[in-house]
Chains A and B, each alone.
Chain A
Amino acid sequence: MSARIICIGNRFLAADAAGPLVYDHLAGSPLPVGVELIEGGTAGLRLLPLLENCELVIFVDAVSGFRPDPGVIVIDPAALEPEALDFGHGAGLATLLATAPHVLDPPLPEILIVGIEGQADEPACRQAARVCREIIASRSNRQSRRQSASVQETVDERPGY
C-alpha cells in the first residue's frame, strides 16, 4: 500500500515538538515498502501536495484537549468539530484538513491523526511511533486480505473450477 506518515510541529519548541520527536523514532528503523516518512515541520497548507497520490496519511502532532490524561490518542479527523480557520502564519493541522477536500481532486486518502497529549517524553514518542506502525500493518493486512479474496473470486469464477 502507499502511505505517508507526516510528523508536524516545531522541534525547537517543547510544547510543539511531538511530531518531530516521533519522526526521529520512526526514522531509526526501516518502514514497509510504499510508506514514506516526512518531517512536515510547520509548513501548514504547504503540505497539501502530500495528501495526493496515496491511500493512507497519518499525521503525528501534539494535541490538546483530546484525552483527560497525558498519552497517545488516535483521532479521526472526520469527527473533529470545525474551528476558526487561519490561512495565515498560524495555519495548523485543523486548517490543512478542513481545506483539503475543497482543493484536492478525489479520491482523498484515509487520514488519521496520532496525537500526543501532554509532554512528548521518550515513552510517549515511542508509543506513538509504535501506533503508527500498527496502523500501517493493520491497513496492509486488510488490503492483502481484500486482494486475496478478490483473486479467489476471480479464480472461482473461471470455467471449470
Chain B
Amino acid sequence: MAENTRKTISVPLNRVEGDLELTIEHEDGVVTNAWSRGVMYRGFENMMKGRGAWDGLVLTPRVCGICGTAHLLTAAKALDMICGIALPANAIMVRNLAMMAEHIQSDLRHGILMFMQDFLNPAYANLPIYGEAVRRYETFRGRSVVETIRMTKKILEIVAILGGQWPNSSFIVPGGVASVPTYNDIVSCIYIINLFTAWYEEQILGCPIERWQQIESEQDLMAWMNEDDAHRSSDLGFFIRMAHLVRLDRIGRGHGNFLSFGQLELPPDSAVRSRSGDALLLAPGFISDGNASAVNQELVSEHVAYSHFIDYPGGLHPSEGITQPYVSPYEAVKYSFCKAPRYAGQPAETGPLAQMLTSRHPLFLDLVERYGPSVYVRELARLVRPAELLPAMKTWAGEIDPEAPFYHSVREIPDGLGYGLTDASRGALGHWLEVKKQQIERYQIITPTAWNGSPRDHGGIRGPWEEALIGTPIADPDNPVEAGHVIRSFDACQVCAVHLLKNPRRGNGRPACLRV
C-alpha cells in the first residue's frame, strides 16, 4: 500500500479511452480537493453553424452513442418551438416510449454492468458477501450480467420498432414522428414491455412493481427488505445490503442542489398521471437547500473561467454562448474542455435522483431529508427508475391509436429562437438553437455530464462531482475504489471518443489476420 500522505492521484474515468479524468488531492486518507477534466474538445456547436435548419436532427444524435434518442428528441423539441406546432397525442406517446426504453436500458446496464462491477474490487475481498457479488456480477459468468445484457437489448427493440430504423434512428421530427407504427408493431411493443416487466420484477426488484411503489420512507424500505427472501436476494436487495456494508450512504454528498428539466409529456385524455400533478410524468424543478422551485431556462448560464475557452466575464445564457477553444502552454488556471453550466448561478446535480426529488417521490424525499444525498441514494434512484416508467409505458403503448395522426406537417423552419429541454438518462439535457434563413445561426448543447462533471465556475465553486468527492475516505491511494463509487454514481459520460480497436498483443508476435 502506498504511503498515505498529502498527494494527488489521477483516476481515468472511462476505462478504455480516458477522455474524462479526475485528479484528487487527499490528505490523511481523506479527499481534500478534486478537479474533473474533460480532456477532449468536441465543438459540436461550431460544426452546426451555417448548416441547414433540420441538420440538428441528424448530427446531434451523434453527440452520444448511448443517448442518441434523447438528443434527437431535444433537437426536435427546439424545432417544434420555433415552428410553434402542437403535437398529435400519438406522437407524444411514441416519443415518450422511445425515451423510456432508452432510459431503462441505460439505467440497468449502468447499474448491473458498471456500478455493481466495482463491488468485485479486491478491496472488498474479505467481506462476507464478496462471494455473492462475484457470483452475481463477474463478467459473463455472473448470473445477473448476461441476463441484463439480454433483456436490455430486448427493451431497446422498442426504439427500433417505433423508429423503423436501427441504429441512428431519425424518426422524431418537428411536428411529431415520421415513422407510423402499425397495429402489429404496437402489439410487439406491448409484448416486450410485459416480458421486460416480468423479468425486472423477478430479477431486479424481487417483487411486483405495485409492491415497490408502496414504499414511501426508509422505514418502509427496511420493512420491505425483511419481508421476503426474494427482496433481499434480488439485485436491488443485494445493492442495499452491500451499500450499507461499505457505507455508500456516507460518501458522495455534493452541493445538495438538484436540477431536472422534466420529461414525458402527458398526452390529453391519457390514463397516466404524474405523482406531482404536473403536465410531465417526471416533473421539472430546481432544488437548493431543500427548497424546490420551478425551472426557468433563462437562469441557465455557462462559465468558462476554468475551461479551455476564450474568457468572458461571469456566465452566458446558452442562447448567447460562445464556444471558442483556447489552450496555452502557459495556462495555469484552465483545466477542462467542459464548460461549467450553472442554474441561478449555482452548480446543480442532475440525473435520476434529481428526477425523483423534483417529482416528489416520497421515499427519496425521506432519504435525502434524513441523511442528505449520497452514492447509495443516487444509485438507488437509478436502479428503481424503471419501476416509475414501465407501468406508464404499458398504458401508453395501449393508448396509441394507429388510425389517428402521428404527424402535423411542417414544411419549413421559420426564422426564430427555440430550445428543447428534456432529461436524458443521465439528467438535464438542453439544446438552444437560432435559425435564420433556413440555416443554423447558433446552436448550444448542455449535456448532463456537463452539469455533473463541470469544472469550477467564475466564482471558483466546484462542479457537482468535484464537490461530492470532498471528504471521501481513501483507504488505499493505489486503489481509490471509494472515489470510483462517487463518480460512478453520477454515471460519468464524456462519450463518443476514439473507439479504436486495439491489438492487446501489439509488439508481441504477429497479428491474427485472414486472407480473402
Contact = CB atoms under 8 A, between A and B. Distances in A.
Interface of A: 8-13, 15-16, 38-50, 61-67, 73-76, 79-94, 98-99, 102-103, 112-113, 115, 131, 134-135, 138
B15 interface: yes
A76 B139 CA distance: 23
A55 B497 CA distance: 30
A61 B501 contact: yes
B516 A39 contact: no
Given A90-B16, A102-B146, A65 B503 contact: yes
Contacts of A131: 516
Contacts of A83: 502, 504
B505 A81 contact: yes
Given A42-B496, A99-B149, A102-B146, 20 more contacts: A10-B497, A12-B44, A13-B497, A41-B62, A42-B62, A42-B495, A43-B66, A43-B167, A44-B499, A49-B166, A64-B502, A65-B505, A73-B511, A76-B513, A88-B110, A89-B493, A90-B14, A93-B499, A93-B501, A131-B516
B503 A90 contact: no
A112 B502 contact: no
Contact of B501 (A10, A43, A115): A115
A16 B498 CA distance: 5
Interface stretch (B75-83, B152-160, B427-435): B152-160
B1 interface: no
Nearest to A81: B504
Nearest to A138: B516
Contacts of A94: 501-502
Contact of A85 (B42, B139, B500, B516): B139
Interface of B: 14-17, 42, 44, 47, 62, 64-66, 68, 105, 109-110, 113-114, 117, 139-140, 146, 149-150, 153, 156-157, 160, 166-168, 492-507, 511-516
Contacts of B501: 61-64, 92-94, 113, 115
B406 to A, nearest CB: 24
22 contacts: A8-B499, A12-B44, A12-B62, A13-B498, A16-B499, A42-B495, A46-B105, A49-B153, A49-B156, A64-B500, A74-B516, A79-B512, A86-B16, A87-B114, A88-B14, A90-B15, A93-B499, A94-B501, A102-B149, A112-B514, A115-B501, A138-B516
Given A12-B47, A49-B160, A103-B146, A66 B113 contact: no
Contacts of B492: 89
A43 B65 contact: yes
Contact of A47 (B114, B167, B516): B167
A40 B150 CA distance: 19
Contact of A46 (B15, B44, B65, B494): B65
A89 B501 CA distance: 15
Contacts of B515: 74
Candidate in A13, A39, A50 with the most chain B CB atoms within 10 angstroms = A13
B140 A102 contact: yes
A142 to B, nearest CB: 11
A141 to B, nearest CB: 12
Nearest to A11: B62
A33 to B, nearest CB: 20
Nearest to A44: B65
Nearest to A10: B496
Pick from B44, B160, B513 the residue with the most CB of A within 10 Å. Answer: B513
A67 B498 CA distance: 19
Nearest to B105: A46
Given A75-B512, A87-B117, A46 B495 contact: no
Nearest to B47: A12
A66 B513 contact: yes
Contacts of B496: 10, 12-13, 42
A111 to B, nearest CB: 11
Contacts of A98: 140
B291 to A, nearest CB: 33
A25 B167 CA distance: 19
Contacts of A11: 62
A110 B498 CA distance: 26
Nearest to A97: B501
Contact of A90 (B47, B64, B499, B513): B499
B500 A16 contact: yes
Given A81-B504, A90-B17, A48 B499 contact: no
Contacts of A9: 499
Nearest to A84: B15
Nearest to A76: B514
Contacts of A39: 167-168
A139 to B, nearest CB: 9
B323 to A, nearest CB: 14
List 4 A-B pairs, minimum CB-CB distance, nearest first.
A79-B512, A42-B65, A65-B506, A90-B16
A138 B516 CA distance: 8
A46 B150 contact: no
A48 B117 CA distance: 21
Contact of B513 (A43, A62, A73, A85): A73
B506 A64 contact: yes
A155 B503 CA distance: 49
Nearest to A105: B150
A59 B14 CA distance: 23
A65 B500 CA distance: 10
Contacts of A64: 500-503, 506
Contacts of B160: 49
Contacts of A93: 499, 501
A46 B498 contact: no
Contact of A135 (B47, B513, B516): B516
Contacts of A81: 503-505
